[in-house]
Amino acid sequence: MSTLAIWADVYKQYWRINFLTALEYRANFLVWFAFTFIYHATALAALYIVLREFPVMNGWSFSEMAFLYSLWMLAHALNNTLFLTVGDVPEHVRDGEIDRVFVRPLNPLFQILTTPQQIFPDELILAILLFILATIWAKPIIDVWFVIFMPLVVIGGALIDFAINLLIATCAFWFVKVDGLRWVAFQLEQEFTRYPISIYTKGVRLVLTFLLPYAFMNYYPATFFLDKTENALHLAPQVGLLSPLVGVACFCVAYAFWRVGLNHYEGVGH
Amino acid sequence: MRRGFRIEPYLEFAKKAFAREATYRMEVFTSVGSLVLRIYLMRMVWLALYAQNVAPQGIALHQMLTYTVVALLMSLILEVDGTRLIRDRLRDGSIATDFMKPTSPALFYFSDGAGQTALHAMLILPSLGFALLMVHIDVPSPLAAAVFFLSFAIGYVVNFFLNFCMNCVAFWTMETFAIQLIVRWCSDLLSGQIIPLLFFPGILERIVLALPFAAIYSTPLLIYIGRITPAEYAGALLSQVGWLVVFAVLGTIIWRAAQRRLVIQGG
């Protein structure tokens, strides 16, 4: 069998196990579904209530902010569906479980990403529903660019999210505990992306654009598709179309760092 | 209880919980760091909103910023799940030994929670220091400050009993993590921690103000920023006490049932 066929087969088996587990633990699945739903519902409800009292935020209305949120949620949910297990790496390093991936003849990162657990694409489905609603409300220009670029932007966004999680997880090869670091990134990703980044001070805008480019998950693409002027760093709105490239670049950097981390860890073991 | 009640063991439990929490130094720094980030975020959000709109419900920007920062500082204490020990000890089975000890198990969990709270309360001062670097916080009149602290204390106990009831659910389900987080998120929104309940539209505002969650954050905060006037203090505190009694009674009922349940499981 070719390598690719092996990968495809492993991946198929992995999803089969995920679905079977979800079917087996139905009550648990329902509770976690409620959990996901309430998390996003309370975030959106808070936005709605505030923007009823204050109709605009730096030129953004509630429907546009909902579109901003839905773009982030799509990328975030795609990351959570495909790449969530990378967050377990620090724990595997701590308890020694990580050694397992070295003795098997398959790419270590691929093995981490196919560690079965109870993952079901429920968040992704919710994200797509919200995206459809937000698109109807916010009325972005729907043309051929929208149709071609939107899926790419979402994949790029998921790669950005994934790459930063991978970078942080890789730090565990040097420092055993990376929870603090993870919290900061988590907060920047989940809470700072809820608003147009033009409301922040210059330093934070630069960080969210160049250092931890979460702004490419939603702010820049939303600015382009909603035909708004970009007034955070005064860039051309077309910058939003770079999200897929930014995602791929982030992933390459993170993957290179991951390789360095793996070699370092193996070095320690001997 | 039959041998006469002594407070010393419980003080010792609280001290131990305090020392235990203090060993997680990284977690302590993280919670202060995360709070500072959130204060920055909320400051920028409210500045942007007030810059382009008229102040709603007569809440001026400085009041709004004060409200947000005080709410976040309060959350350092209110987000402590004081009785999560129940859940942990149910899972590993050690809860049985808690019932064999000559001390009251419920009071043991309460004093453990008090110890944890004391540690987190100490984080308020450094956090306040960082907050003051970023925002100006209004200082209330001495009367309002005194009533605020009283109201906060009542809110703390309401929140404590709410968590206690939730943790006791573990006697039946073992797992309460997801349900507790769901209740936490709803309560963050409905208690006025994220946004003042005065912003809720029309009838919803009256509903959320009548829910028990309002007793946790909203009442003390509205007293602090002066939206609840001295003439309204008595009524506001009384409704908080009402919720306290409701949750205390509910907690007692659940705890009794839980004890029976534990005996059945053990027998």
Does the pLDDT of residue A102 top 50, yes or no?
yes
Q: How far is CA A32 from CA A37, A40, A119, B177, B190, in A?
A: 9, 13, 10, 10, 21
Q: Which of A32, A53, A187 sits opposite B178 (nearest CB)?
A: A32
Is residue B218 a contact partner of residue B209, using CB atoms and an 8 Å limit? yes
Predicted confidence (pLDDT) per residue in A165-217, tens digit? 999 999 988 886 777 788 889 989 999 999 999 999 999 999 999 999 999 99
* CA A120 – CA B210 distance, rounded (Å): 37
pLDDT value at position A97?
A: 85
Q: Which of B38, B53, B200 sits opposite A54 (nearest CB)?
A: B53
Contacts of B33 (CB under 8 A, 6+ apart): A180, A183, A184
pLDDT value at position A24?
A: 85
Torsion of CA B168, B174, B178, B184, to 10 degrees: 10
Residues in B touching A49 (Cβ below 8 Å): 195, 199-201
B102: exposed, middle or buried (Cβ count in 10 Å: 0-12, 13-18, 19+): exposed
Residues 173-192 of B with CB under 8 A from A: 178-179, 181-182, 185-186, 188-189
Kindly report the nearest CA distance between residue B20 and chain A, in angstroms: 18
Is A32 within 8 Å of chain B by CB? yes
Residues in A touching B49 (Cβ below 8 Å): 50, 54, 57
What radius of gyration do chain A's Cα atoms show? Answer: 20
Does the pLDDT of residue A87 top 50, yes or no?
yes
B45–A58 C-beta distance less than 8 A: no
* CA B197 – CA B205 distance, rounded (Å): 6
pTM of the model as a whole: 0.91
Instruction: From B101, B81, B92, B93, select the one nearest B165 (Cα to Cα).
Output: B81
Does the pLDDT of residue B24 top 80, yes or no?
no
- Nearest residue in B to A58, CA atom: B48
Domain parsing of chain A, residue ranges: 3-268
Does the pLDDT of residue A269 top 80, yes or no?
no
pLDDT value at position A174?
A: 87
CB pairs under 8 A between A and B: 80
Does the pLDDT of residue B175 top 90, yes or no?
no
* CA B152 – CA B158 distance, rounded (Å): 10
B41–A191 C-beta distance less than 8 A: yes
For residue B152, the SS3 value is helix
pLDDT value at position B64?
A: 95
pLDDT value at position A270?
A: 42
Q: What angle do CA A108, A113, A115 make, to 5 degrees?
A: 95
Predicted confidence (pLDDT) per residue in A27-36, tens digit? 888 888 998 9
Is residue B240 a contact partner of residue B219, using CB atoms and an 8 Å limit? yes
Does the pLDDT of residue B224 top 80, yes or no?
yes
B47–A199 C-beta distance less than 8 A: yes
Structure-model confidence comparison of residues A264 and B197, the more confident one: B197
Residues in B touching A32 (Cβ below 8 Å): 178
For residue A57, the SS3 value is strand
Handedness of CA B3, B7, B9, B13 (dihedral sign): positive
Predicted confidence (pLDDT) per residue in A127-139, tens digit? 999 999 999 999 9
Q: Quote the percentage of chain B above a pLDDT of 90.
A: 59
H or E segment and range at residue A167? helix A144-170
Predicted confidence (pLDDT) per residue in B93-146, tens digit? 888 888 888 888 888 888 999 999 998 899 999 999 999 999 999 999 999 999
pLDDT value at position B208?
A: 95
